[in-house]
């Protein structure tokens, strides 16, 4: 009797390990897709955020996100006037970020557009034509 129980336990253990491995694989692929997904552009009225920030571009970021660091560096290199709200260290910034119903960082906001995610080409094409106008506002 001990033999069949041992076999059954072995089969159950194997099935459990396969299920766990499959779940980890699915989760890993989902996370990889979200990290490598292209930025999402969303038109809207974000003028209140921009007005309250006092700059024509607002970047919601975290202090540990490598894409946020790249976004900050690009905005600086493009000489785009902007303000950065670090949502992981500032409760007011987090509250404003939560009102956007965003689920990742970085989030770049202009008066009429929101870009969730980072891609240099997207930032350049989104802000390239606006850099002169952005600079002229201040």
- The upper half-sphere exposure of residue 112, i.e. CA atoms within 13 Å in the direction of its Cβ, equals 4
pTM for the structure as a whole? 0.69
Please check whether residue 69 is in contact with residue 92, taking contact to mean a CB–CB distance below 8 angstroms: no
The domain ranges of the chain are 1-36, 40-136
Domain 40-136: CATH architecture, name and number where available:
3-Layer(aba) Sandwich (3.40)
pLDDT of residue 8: 73
Mean pLDDT of successive 10-residue segments in the chain (138 residues)?
71 71 60 64 95 96 96 96 97 95 95 95 85 37
Mapped onto helix, strand or coil, the DSSP state of residue 115 is: strand
Q: What is the pLDDT of residue 116?
A: 96
State residue 4's pLDDT score.
73
**Predicted pLDDT at 91:** 97
The pLDDT value given to residue 24 = 63
């Amino acid at each position: 009797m001990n033999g069949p129980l041992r076999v059954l336990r072995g089969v159950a253990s194997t099935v459990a390990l396969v299920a766990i491995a499959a779940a980890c694989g699915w989760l890993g692929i989902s996370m990889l897709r979200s990290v490598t997904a292209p930025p999402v552009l969303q038109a809207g009225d974000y003028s209140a955020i921009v007005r309250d920030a006092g700059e024509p571009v607002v970047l919601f970021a975290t202090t540990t996100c490598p894409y946020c660091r790249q976004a900050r560096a690009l905005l600086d290199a493009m000489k785009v006037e902007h303000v950065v709200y670090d949502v992981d260290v500032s409760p007011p910034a987090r509250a404003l970020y939560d009102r956007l119903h965003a689920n990742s960082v970085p989030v770049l906001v202009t008066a009429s557009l929101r870009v969730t995610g980072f891609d240099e080409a997207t930032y350049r094409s989104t802000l390239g034509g606006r850099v002169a106008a952005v600079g002229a506002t201040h």
